[in-house]
């Protein structure tokens, strides 16, 4: 039958075509269980039994764009904040002390952070802590990608959100599909690893389009692929739309692991927000990365790209890791975590 044929192709390292990917996205019951198991086995073979922890600092929620789905879009009436260079460095230092090796600097598209301001922040982090840096600050100029790369930025996160031109243009009033694709290429050409991904269950999105999303990640050699459910955000044009489906989101994670194999797949904050077990289920369906939200608590509430965002802090990460029966990265400093009041079980 079809699933057995697909498994044989995966085992023989033959690329799956779109019809086969669609078939996997539509499996139910025993075939669903088999899909999740297969993804878990491939995750184990490619990555092993470890979980990568990435900490994100959302340093500004100003944004010049008006993406229809996003809670920090320009027209949304929310309290805006910007962190100073000093505040950002202080947060990074805390992460460094815990033993975290990569920080994600994330913001809306905020021109206040000019090339020079960003470079100054990047250089200071590199000099003081030698940490890996992922930038997630939206579309920038070609020249800036090169400058960021030369200053030591390792990864640049710019999601395609959807690889369907039709849907991309429907949800992005300010963006052009071809430009987003071009920028995905420019990021790699500048010498950084490209991180991408998208949303599952966007209004009007089809299974065919989701299959295209996964193929896009494979074809562009994306290194970190964040797929999470669409969640309606208060005050946005999509606030009354229904959220993406948990099972479909898990299938997308699983199929992405099977199709893209050796990549970083976060169990996204969005899936943790959709369902209390979402993150653990994703970690059992091929995901291998957790994002810790490390924005100072006083600012966090203003960075609601969708409503009621589930804050993934260290204790939550430890619980998810334990449920998934996998090791936290060795580099996390247990003594320091205990000092911070986290309970750590020896079995981890």
Rounded distance between C-alpha atoms, residue 271 and residue 266, angstroms: 10
Q: How many CA atoms lie within 13 A of 289 on its CB side?
A: 23
Smallest distance, ligand 5AD to C-beta of residue 234, A: 10
Cβ distance to ligand 5AD smaller for residue 159 or 223: 159
- What, of ligand 5AD, ligand SF4, none, does residue 253 touch, CB below 5 to 8 Å by kind? none
C-beta separation of 105 from 263 below 8 A: no
**Ramachandran class of 225: left when φ > 0, alpha when ψ lies in -120 to 50, beta otherwise:** beta
Q: Which two tokens stand for residue 325?
A: 């029966």
Q: Which two tokens stand for residue 138?
A: 């939206």
Rounded distance between C-alpha atoms, residue 32 and residue 10, angstroms: 16
Rounded distance between C-alpha atoms, residue 69 and residue 182, angstroms: 22
Instruction: Choose one: 34-42, 74-82, 229-237, 321-329; the region binding ligand 5AD (CB under 6 A).
Output: 229-237
Footprint on this chain of ligand SF4 (rule: CB under 6 A)? 63, 65, 67, 70, 72-73, 108-109, 138, 305
- What, of ligand SF4, ligand 5AD, none, does residue 159 touch, CB below 5 to 8 Å by kind? ligand 5AD
- What, of ligand SF4, ligand 5AD, none, does residue 266 touch, CB below 5 to 8 Å by kind? none
Using CB under 6 A as the binding rule, whether residue 188 contacts ligand 5AD is answered as: no
Using CB under 6 A as the binding rule, whether residue 199 contacts ligand 5AD is answered as: yes
In this chain, which of 138, 228, 266, 278 binds ligand 5AD, going by CB under 6 A? Answer: 228
Closest CA to 326 of 259, 249, 267, 255: 267
The residue length of the chain stands at 348
Q: Which two tokens stand for residue 268?
A: 């996204």
Tokens 């995750």 found at = 43
Smallest distance, ligand 5AD to C-beta of residue 198, A: 6
Give me the 147-186 binding string for ligand 5AD, x by CB under 6 A, dash otherwise. ------------x-x-------------------------
Task: State the residues that interact with ligand 5AD by CB under 6 A.
Answer: 69-70, 159, 161, 199, 228, 230-231, 233, 270, 305-306
């Amino acid at each position: 039958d079809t699933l057995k044929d697909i498994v044989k192709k995966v085992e023989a390292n033959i690329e799956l075509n779109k019809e086969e990917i669609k078939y996997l996205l539509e499996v139910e019951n025993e075939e669903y269980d088999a899909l999740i198991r297969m993804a878990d086995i491939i995750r184990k073979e490619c990555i092993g039994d470890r979980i990568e922890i990435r900490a994100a600092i959302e340093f500004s929620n100003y944004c010049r764009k008006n993406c229809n789905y996003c809670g920090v879009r320009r027209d949304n009436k929310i309290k805006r904040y910007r962190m100073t260079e000093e505040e950002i460095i202080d947060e990074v230092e805390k992460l460094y002390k815990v033993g975290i090796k990569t920080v994600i600097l994330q913001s809306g598209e905020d021109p206040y952070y000019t090339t020079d301001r960003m470079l100054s922040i990047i250089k200071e982090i590199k000099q003081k802590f030698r940490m890996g840096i992922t930038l997630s600050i939206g579309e920038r100029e070609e020249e800036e990608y090169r400058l960021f790369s030369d200053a030591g930025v390792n990864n640049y996160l710019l999601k395609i959100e959807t690889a369907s031109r039709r849907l991309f243009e429907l949800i992005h009033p300010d963006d052009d599909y071809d430009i987003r694709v071009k920028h995905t290429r420019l990021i790699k050409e500048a010498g950084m690893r490209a991180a991408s991904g998208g949303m599952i269950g966007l209004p009007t999105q089809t299974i065919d389009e989701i299959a295209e999303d996964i193929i896009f990640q494979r074809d562009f050699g994306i290194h970190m692929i964040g797929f999470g459910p669409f969640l309606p955000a208060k005050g946005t044009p999509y606030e009354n739309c229904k959220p993406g489906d948990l099972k479909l989101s898990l299938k997308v994670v699983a199929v992405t692991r099977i199709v893209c194999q050796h990549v970083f797949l976060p169990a996204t904050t969005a899936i943790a927000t959709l369902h209390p077990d979402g993150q653990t289920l994703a970690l059992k369906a091929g995901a291998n990365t957790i994002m810790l939200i490390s924005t100072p608590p006083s600012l966090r509430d203003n960075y609601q790209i969708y409503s009621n965002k589930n804050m993934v802090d260290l204790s939550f990460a430890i619980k998810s890791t334990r449920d998934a029966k996998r090791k936290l990265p060795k580099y996390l400093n247990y003594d320091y975590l205990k000092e911070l009041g986290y309970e750590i079980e020896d079995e981890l």
